[in-house]
Structure 1
Amino acid sequence: MKAICWHGRQDMRVDNVDDPKILDAGDVIIKVTSTAICGSDLHLYNGYMPSMEAGDVVGHEPMGVVMEVGNAVTKLSKGDRVVVPFTLSCGHCFFCERLEYSLCDESNPNADMAAKVMGHSPAGLFGFSHMLGGFAGGQAEYLRVPYADVGPIKIPDGIPDDQVLFLSDIFPTGYMAAENCGIEQGDTVAVWGCGPVAQFAIQSAWMLGAGRVVAIDREPERLEMARTHGKAETIHFEQENVYERLMEMTQGRGPDRCIDAVGAEAHAAGGVREVIDDAKEAVHVPANHPYVLAEAIKCCRKGGTISIPGVYTSTLNGVPMGPAMNKALTFKMGQTHVQRYLKPLLQKIVEGAIDPSFVITHRGSLDQAPELYKTFEQRSDKCIKVVLNP
């Protein structure tokens, strides 16, 4: 089958690889009908994620049709149309029973490798390094899905792929980011970044009772999407001082809740630190950028909450923990417990409360994926979200 494979920094290729097979009685095989390039995939593309190996199949936002079913699978049948969450979860460990699916104790076969870096291993993830399981990803014609009775959700007839595909990751991720804020009725929520996850965080903040949502970015098309689809007020961080503008908007108090929906590949409005980090990257030394997190700490009101759905991949220097401690800020973060949100968010789609397809700007085949990775990474051609149809 065809699949998108990582071959090094900024080197994604279309390879012919072996078709997946049932390896465990709890597996299913799906024929992928739609899959997407995620902002997190750019961390792989830019060489930020350790333990990638040449030839690894990437991608963690797939859906498709069940083609084969393991003997132990009870909830799915051949022909079912499903969305597959990016987190692999056993469903019965301590963390899964607490609905903390991205912390599953059983699904990462390389847990020892992850524990050496993190202290403990999170769940295995599709297409996201050997440290997180080495599972083949979903930017491919077919995909093996372990723990099939725990992960995939069946999709009702009549709903197009575009409306439900993002249940695999970015819609639940944006929702959990807003939920982690602990939004109280009428709160002001500031969202750094206007990429796909941020767009769903904005939508979700309204769902959870926000009184005001402010979106921060520098890309005109992203800011426009936040205004038109997200009904957010916006700040262009290269044209305005974010701290001063947020203080003006909140009478000096600061936003109640802040969301860092950017993560490791943040940009700053100039400054020595960004120049240094850019120089490191020019010689292929990855740098996790603290710009957004530092700014959110400065801007958040005293006693407020900072939610971090943006992915960081290693140690982060330059985070102002002193101000965070003295302002009594609460931090919540983590990979998304996708399975927890699948049914309620699917219901919102069915009811017409949201049509997640609004974020799609680019489409292509697997053969076009390497070039679309470049387009997405460079944010050229007004690219916000790429969907691939194998």
Structure 2
Amino acid sequence: MKAVTWQGRRDVRVETVPDPAVQEPTDAVIRITSSGLCGSDLHLYEVLTPFMTEGDILGHEPMGVVEETGSEVSGLSPGDRVVVPFQIACGTCYMCREGLPTQCETTQVREQDMGAPLFGYTSLYGSVPGAQAEYLRVPQAQYGPIKVPEGPADDRFVYLSDVLPTAWQAVRYADVPRGGSVVVLGLGPIGDMACRVARHLGADTVIGVDLVPERLERARARGVDVHDLTAFDRQQDLVDAVRDRTGGRGPDAVIDAVGTEAHGSPVGRTAQQAAGLLPKSWSTRLTEKTGGVDRLAALRLAIALVRRGGTISVSGVYGGSASPLPLLTMFDKQIQLRMGQANVRTWSDEIMPLLTDEDPLGVDDFATHHIPLGEAPAAYDTFQHKRDGAVKFLIRP
């Protein structure tokens, strides 16, 4: 089959690789009909390269048709149309029963001291072949795949794999009171959708912050107040503008939908780039220990923006472990901080009723680009450089 493979820093290629097959009784194989290109994939393109191996198949936002199932997969049959969550979980362990399938005790990547494995996402998360391909092996298929109805185009459901539950969890974790206020930092796919979810769930004031004109206009068109980060000479000027809009005290919550690739962190960017040039054993250790240093512009801004007693919800991925934070300010402001990979199956039943003919979240036209598999390498470059109004790519094998 054809698949998008990682070959090095800023080097992805479409290669011919072996077809996947059922290996365990709980496996399924699906034929991919759509697969998303996620902002998290860009971390593999540049930042988290020390954890990649040449030939790794990328992608973690799959939708398709079941081709084959293992003997212990019930409730799923060849021909079923499914969306597959980006994490692999059993559905029956303590963590899964607690609504935390990202921490699944059956599938945890214990050799890395990490949670549940993810499709197409580094050795840290199990080096599981990803979904930007013609076919995908799905472990734990007795739990993961979500059956969806025939009829509507893939765009209606594909975002259940990641974008919708990640944005939904970001807003739920932000604990925005009905009629309250929230600032969303970063208007890429997750930030854009988080704004829509926040409005749908009753937030009165939703403010989006970004520096890409097309992304700002896209959010503005859906009723979001937007601020262009480049229009402010100092961070404090933006903080003051948001306070003016939120009764003088700041927003009830801030969602950081940016993560480790935040602009305005030159030291951290240099450290991340340097790590990628070292021998693999050295670069892995450097990335684990210092790769995230001082690339916290978005999180620091969130801490400055949120009102006293407010909540910060982090959905953007961070990769370093030696990242200093203003803990005195956080303690003094009594900030609540929540974060983590989205627990897809925890939220999917809440979200599914919104994927109706009325389409209140605007999923039908959410993608800015639909491309064939062969154009994926160019799409990575376009998305990385935020060209051509790129917010969301859907790949069609």
TM-score bin, normalised by smaller chain: over 0.9
Counterpart CA distance in 2 for 1:330 and 1:98 is 21
Match of 2:110 in 1: 111
Q: 1:169 to 1:282 in 2, by over 3 A?
A: closer
Match of 1:267 in 2: 263
Q: 1:100 to 1:338 in 2, by over 3 A?
A: same
Superposed, which structure 2 residues align to 1:14-93 within 5 Å?
14-48=14-48, 50-93=50-93
- Given that residues 111 and 133 in structure 1 are in contact (C-alpha distance below 8 angstroms), is that contact kept between their aligned partners in structure 2? no
Cα-Cα RMSD? 1.5
- Given that residues 307 and 333 in structure 1 are in contact (C-alpha distance below 8 angstroms), is that contact kept between their aligned partners in structure 2? yes
Match of 1:276 in 2: 267
- Given that residues 171 and 356 in structure 1 are in contact (C-alpha distance below 8 angstroms), is that contact kept between their aligned partners in structure 2? no
Give, as a single letter, the amino acid of the residue that structure 1 aligns with 2:356: V
Give, as a single letter, the amino acid of the residue that structure 2 aligns with 1:276: V
1:306 aligned to which of 312, 333, 350:
312
Deviation at 1:343, TM superposition (A): 2.4
Counterpart CA distance in 2 for 1:354 and 1:212 is 17
Counterpart CA distance in 2 for 1:284 and 1:9 is 11
Deviation at 1:36, TM superposition (A): 1.1
Counterpart CA distance in 1 for 2:272 and 2:25 is 44
Deviation at 1:284, TM superposition (A): 5.2
Determine whether 1:165 maps to 2:158: yes
Give, as a single letter, the amino acid of the residue that structure 2 aligns with 1:85: P
- Given that residues 5 and 12 in structure 1 are in contact (C-alpha distance below 8 angstroms), is that contact kept between their aligned partners in structure 2? yes
Counterpart CA distance in 2 for 1:111 and 1:47 is 23
Counterpart CA distance in 2 for 1:49 and 1:336 is 22
Deviations 1:127-158 (A, max 9, x none): 10122111110000000011112111111121
Superposed, which structure 2 residues align to 1:1-390 within 5 Å?
1-48=1-48, 50-108=50-108, 110-112=109-111, 114-115=112-113, 121-229=114-222, 231-240=223-232, 241-268=237-264, 274-280=265-271, 283=274, 287-288=291-292, 289-350=295-356, 352=358, 353-390=360-397
Give, as a single letter, the amino acid of the residue that structure 1 aligns with 2:349: K
Structure 1 portions without partners, runs of 5+: 116-120, 269-273
Deviation at 1:217, TM superposition (A): 0.3
- Given that residues 9 and 49 in structure 2 are in contact (C-alpha distance below 8 angstroms), is that contact kept between their aligned partners in structure 1? no
Deviation at 1:342, TM superposition (A): 1.7
Counterpart CA distance in 2 for 1:182 and 1:251 is 18
Counterpart CA distance in 1 for 2:389 and 2:87 is 29
Deviations 1:322-358 (A, max 9, x none): 1011100000100000011222212111252333133
TM-score, reference length from structure 1? 0.93
- Given that residues 47 and 272 in structure 2 are in contact (C-alpha distance below 8 angstroms), is that contact kept between their aligned partners in structure 1? no
Counterpart CA distance in 1 for 2:212 and 2:313 is 22
Q: Does the residue aligned with 2:160 lie in a helix, a strand or coil?
A: helix
Q: Does the residue aligned with 1:245 lie in a helix, a strand or coil?
A: helix
- Given that residues 90 and 106 in structure 1 are in contact (C-alpha distance below 8 angstroms), is that contact kept between their aligned partners in structure 2? yes
Deviations 1:92-138 (A, max 9, x none): 11100111111111114x422x21xxxxx311110101221111100
Identical pairs, percent = 39
Deviation at 1:278, TM superposition (A): 4.3
Structure 2 portions without partners, runs of 5+: 277-286
